[in-house]
């Protein structure tokens, strides 16, 4: 592993994203628009539904977006031959993975700053805990999305397939994360499944922060998400082989 190479990968990925103005705009603007839409939708409904759904959405954006972006970009690296070329160079597998995680983590930090800024500053989301901790949770979610995206890209041979992994891997997590039905009210089997899905903990962390601000709870959830992300990165590293059949 080498810091020089990891930073080279991260820098290159960020340059590529910066070049792609449309993707960059979507990454940064779409979350703000969606969170505003959510707020507007609940405006005339009694109760504090925005306070319940808003935090969950803040946890999902970085996860979903980074999952998609990473699975497609790394698939492109695999099919264009650049990955093979890099692996014939002094590039460690972890350099490659951490470079991507670093680049998309940074991007997620900017994305989270904007989305949280809009939610708290403009839409009046009341956060009981420290606002910066929302950003930390968002970045860890993004790294999780990146790690899972890297992993599934190994099992896709076309960009169409890579995109299809999104409903397969991400939608079940959204359904079972406790947003629609509290996890304690789910049938036992589903609650058990929900307990082993990382997004459940990401959403928990956000909701905890907004509602009660038990920081110990939040950090525990963040730790669980981080462990999932590390495990996915480890599995992803196993799919990057210098020698292929």
Partner 1 sequence: MMKNVVEVRDLVVVRGSREVLPGISLDVPAGVTGLLGPSGCGKTTLLRCLVGAQRVRSGTVRVLGEPAGSAPLRTRVGYVTQAASVYDDLTVAENLRFFARVLGVDPASVDEAIGSVDLAGHRDQLVSRLSGGQRSRVSLAVALLGKPDLLVLDEPTVGLDPVLRRDLWQLFHGIADAGAAVLVSSHVMDEAERCHRLLLMREGRIIADGPPEEVRERTGAADIEGAFLHLVESA
Residues near partner 1 (CB under 8 A) are 4-5, 7-9, 11-12, 15-16, 19-20, 80-82, 84-91, 242-245
Question: Closer to partner 1 at the Cβ: 88 or 184?
Answer: 88
What is the closest distance, in whole angstroms, from the C-beta atom of residue 78 to partner 1 in the complex?
A: 11
48: phi then psi, degrees, rounded to nearest 5: -105, 60
Structure token digits, residue 60 = 């999902």
- Report the nearest approach of partner 1 to the CB of residue 181 (Å): 43
The candidate with the shortest Cα–Cα distance to 56, out of 175, 186, 158, is 175
- Return the number of the residue (106 or 213) whose C-beta is nearest partner 1: 106
Task: Please state the closest distance from residue 1 (CB atom) to partner 1, in A.
Answer: 13
CB burial of residue 34 (10 Å; 0-12, 13-18, 19+):
middle
C-beta separation of 97 from 236 below 8 A: yes
* Residue 245 beta carbon to partner 1: minimum distance, rounded to whole angstroms: 5
Q: What is the DSSP string of 189-235?
A: HHHHHHHT-HHHHHHHHHHHHHHT--HHHHHHHHHHHHHHHHHHHHH
For the chain, how big is the Rg over CA atoms in Å? 18
Residue 85 CB, shortest distance to partner 1, in Å, is 4
The residue (of 80 and 195) whose beta carbon lies closer to partner 1 is 80
User: Smaller CB distance to partner 1: residue 189 or 243?
Assistant: 243
Pick the closer one to partner 1 by CB: 85 or 212.
Answer: 85
Site of tokens 């709870």: 217
Q: Looking up tokens 């397969």, which residue turns up?
A: 168
């Amino acid at each position: 592993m080498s810091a020089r190479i990891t930073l080279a990968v991260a820098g290159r990925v960020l340059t590529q994203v910066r070049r792609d103005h449309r993707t960059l705009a979507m990454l940064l603007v779409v979350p703000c628009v969606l969170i505003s839409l959510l707020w507007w939708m609940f405006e005339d409904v009694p109760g504090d539904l925005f306070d319940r759904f808003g935090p969950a959405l803040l946890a999902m954006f970085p996860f979903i977006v980074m999952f998609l972006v990473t699975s497609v970009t790394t698939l492109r690296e695999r099919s264009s031959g650049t990955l093979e070329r890099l692996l014939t160079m002094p590039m460690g597998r972890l350099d490659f993975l951490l470079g991507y995680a670093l680049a998309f983590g940074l991007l997620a930090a900017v994305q989270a700053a904007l989305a949280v800024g809009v939610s708290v500053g403009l839409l009046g989301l009341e956060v009981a805990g420290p606002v910066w901790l929302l950003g930390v949770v968002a970045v860890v979610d993004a790294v999780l999305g990146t790690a899972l995206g890297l992993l599934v890209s190994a099992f896709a041979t076309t960009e169409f397939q890579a995109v299809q992994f999104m409903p397969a891997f991400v939608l079940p997590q959204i359904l079972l994360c406790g947003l629609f039905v509290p996890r304690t009210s789910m049938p036992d089997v589903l609650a058990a499944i929900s307990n082993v899905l990382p997004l459940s903990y990401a959403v928990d962390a956000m909701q905890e922060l907004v509602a009660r601000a038990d920081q110990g709870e939040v950090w525990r959830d963040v730790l669980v998400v981080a462990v999932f992300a590390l495990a996915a990165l480890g599995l992803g590293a196993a799919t990057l082989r210098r020698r292929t059949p």
